[in-house]
A and B are shown apart, each in its own frame.
Chain A
Amino acid sequence: MKWEEIAPQLVNALSLGGIYALIAVGYTMVYGILKLINFAHGEIFMSGAFVGVIALSAGWSLIPSIAAACAFCAVLGVTIDRVAYQPLRSAPKLAPLITALGMSIFLQNAAMMVWGSGMRPFPVLSPKYPMTLKKAPENSKALIDEIASRLEKVRDGKYDEAMTGLFLGEYRVAKRNLEEERARDAKSAELVLLEKRLAEARENIPRVTAVTRIPDGLLVEFRNGTGDALKTLSDVRREAQQALKIPRTAVEWNRMEVRKHVLERGFMVGGVEVQWKQPLIWFVTLALMLGLEFMIRKTSVGRAMRAVALDQNTAALMGVSVNNIIRLTFVIGSALAAVGGVLYALKLGGGVVFTMGTQVGVIAFSAAVLGGIGNIRGAALGGLLIGVITNLAIWKLGEWGVGGVYGPAIAFLVLIAVILVRPTGLLGSTSVERA
């Protein structure tokens, strides 16, 4: 195996592992305190991803979008606890497990109703220009007027996609219309005039004369009027899409440069390209994990959380409000899942869909079990391991011609193998059920 092959896989694996770790922590914290598997946690992750993508699509930048997702999920998590778990605190443990499953199904369906059943695409982070696709006018004169008026703007130096992108199509429509009209009425004086105007317009339609690659983008040069176009605008857009792997709408026509957003760009290390968003994911994950670790180990609230996890009644005797600590647990776990959701959407770049919580949820839950459920460091370790194993498995299986979909299956095999040897997980306490 060559470094060039394995490095990108590792980069991916670490990001994915970090995201799994963020989600696994939520499972493990709630389990630690309530001895309950919060099956709705995957849906909290999904909701976080949705809120993040919606905020980004509305033009918010990354940090406010993540903050919005966190706030939304924190409220959602506490509400889930209040509605589905708190009434069952003293019930047998099976009861809240069933409401947890119900909650998960309910939230998935609610998400489908509110956010739709289709994939919601991850927005282009690059600056965009609004595309005003007007319906082409019916009659030839109006169409030619439209072309002419746009050309006016082009002459003023105001290129934008709405103007330039549609020239050729509309030119063709107008030309066909004129030919049809000509066939019906060969001698119309008005037609002659229109034909003349259209021919003039043809000369002035901006043409792409050169497309060159520049760092992180394409430089597109236009020339008005004479000479044949090297390419049509749609050719350039297709090229941009293929060369840069960004949607066509990302093209900044007015500066005639195509640039990627910083997070979509990359940098080279040792001959391997790493996208900026990957180290961003590592950094955010690491910072949050260290922050959480500090809070749990060193602050009075963190100590109270550990005390509640060990013995709720005695913690109450210390003056701890057990319900507040439980609520705080849901707030922290849900907010971390929200961050995980937005980062996951950012990493994959494709989009979000209401069912995404199920698979990721199961994988993150396995990560929590692998590390030792109830143990926060274990969840972090488990998440990282599962991320790396899944990623490498998908890659290798792909190379051997086995479908990459079996990647998670490999992760589960590893989980089963570890649990057989160490039933409490890697960092779990050795007693089977803590008192």
Chain B
Amino acid sequence: MLKLNGVTAGYGHLEVLHGISLEVAEGEIVTLIGANGAGKTTTLNAICSLVRVRDGSIELAGRDITRAPTNTIVRAGVAQVPEGRKLFAELTVHENLDMGAYLRKEKDGVLADLKKVFGLFPILEERQWQTAGSLSGGEQQMCAIGRALMAKPKLLLLDEPSLGLAPLVCRQIFDVIRELNREGTTILLVEQNAHAALRLAHRAYVMETGTIKLTGKAEDLLKDEKVKSAYLGE
């Protein structure tokens, strides 16, 4: 579904990604873990062309999407829950969710998905007419995930969806991710909570200062000594 071949990217003179190669097969949950500043967010943004890819290539479902305009990548079925939620603070919750479905024309499908999002996060239905900026952090995270779901993506990129959430909400969000995957959505998950991520994912990549250091089945990495000491705090 998604394939990065030696992707190099950065900001100004600073090169942050030094030739990243990774792959996400259709129907998989793949997690990307690594220390702060490793380049995880930059990787997701390179996939969406929000950061310019300097070298290497990115393929989506066999199509080359390297440096394609962001909106065409989204049109091809990619949605991102960006780091820090990035809600449109002055738009209402409802309008934020509508923005997620911006490219969709089938009104019935959109309405059904809105119902589904409200089913997953009932608090959003209650708060739908207030501005997204007035939601609590956790509610904002739910709204950001809901907004991405409204796009009905084939590939969902999640950047630290559990950040700042209470354990219960956190578990709920991981359940939602598993459920979405079961329904056929391919998922690339960036997480600080490596433990939860590795238990959820099929496969994982470990990133360190702009390079992929380790990769394998999630369950194997959970037992890996280096991973244990560096990311699982054991």
Which residues of A are in contact with B by a Cβ distance under 8 Å? 300, 303-304, 306-307, 310-311, 313-322, 429, 435
Contacts and interface: CB of A to CB of B under 8 A. Distances in A.
Nearest to A306: B91
A157 to B, nearest CB: 66
B82 A314 contact: yes
Interface string B72-102: 0011000110100010111100010011101
A317 B80 contact: yes
Contact of A318 (B69, B89, B100): B100
Given A316-B50, A319-B151, A321-B69, A310 B75 contact: no
B69 A307 contact: no
B71 A310 contact: no
Interface centre among B69, B79, B88, by most chain A C-beta atoms within 10 angstroms, is B88
Contacts of B48: 316-317
Contacts of A314: 82, 86, 88
Interface residues of B, number: 23
B70 interface: yes
Interface string B140-166: 000000010001000000000000000
A435 B87 CA distance: 12
A86 to B, nearest CB: 14
A368 to B, nearest CB: 18
A381 B159 CA distance: 42
The 9 A-B pairs of least Cβ separation, nearest first, read: A319-B74, A316-B70, A319-B103, A314-B86, A318-B102, A318-B99, A321-B71, A310-B88, A319-B71
Contacts of B90: 306, 310, 429
Interface of B: 48, 50, 69-71, 74-75, 79-80, 82, 86, 88-91, 95, 98-100, 102-103, 147, 151
B82 A306 contact: no
B75 A319 contact: yes
Contacts of A435: 89
Contacts of B86: 311, 313-314, 317
Contacts of A318: 74, 99-100, 102-103, 147, 151
A94 B11 CA distance: 21
B89 A319 contact: no
A303 B91 contact: yes
Contacts of B71: 316, 319-322
Given A306-B88, A317-B82, A319-B71, 19 more contacts: A303-B98, A304-B102, A306-B90, A306-B91, A307-B88, A307-B99, A310-B89, A310-B90, A311-B86, A311-B88, A313-B50, A313-B70, A314-B86, A318-B151, A319-B102, A320-B71, A321-B71, A322-B71, A435-B89
A316 B74 CA distance: 8
5 contacts: A303-B95, A314-B82, A316-B70, A322-B71, A435-B89
A176 B147 CA distance: 91
Contacts of A311: 86, 88
Contacts of B151: 318-319
A300 B74 contact: no
B74 A317 contact: yes
Contacts of B98: 300, 303
Contacts of B69: 316, 321
B175 to A, nearest CB: 24
A306 B92 CA distance: 11
Contact of A307 (B70, B91, B103): B91
Nearest to A301: B102
A154 to B, nearest CB: 70
Contacts of A306: 88, 90-91, 95
A322 B69 CA distance: 10
Nearest to B98: A303
B91 A317 contact: no
A310 B74 contact: no
A327 to B, nearest CB: 14
A303 B97 CA distance: 11
A315 B89 CA distance: 12
Contacts of B74: 316-319
A310 B89 CA distance: 8
A415 B194 CA distance: 56
Nearest to B104: A319
Contact of A304 (B70, B89, B99): B99
Contacts of A300: 98, 102
B99 A303 contact: yes
A241 B52 CA distance: 68
Contacts of A307: 88, 91, 99
Interface centre among A307, A318, A429, by most chain B C-beta atoms within 10 angstroms, is A318
A310 B71 CA distance: 17
Contacts of A313: 50, 70, 86
A43 to B, nearest CB: 31
B80 to A, nearest CB: 5
A176 B79 CA distance: 92
Contacts of B79: 317
A167 B86 CA distance: 80
B160 to A, nearest CB: 15
Nearest to B45: A313
Contacts of A303: 91, 95, 98-99, 102
Nearest to B76: A319
Contacts of B75: 319
A316 to B, nearest CB: 4
B41 to A, nearest CB: 12
Nearest to B89: A310
A53 B49 CA distance: 46
Nearest to A303: B95
Contacts of A304: 99, 102
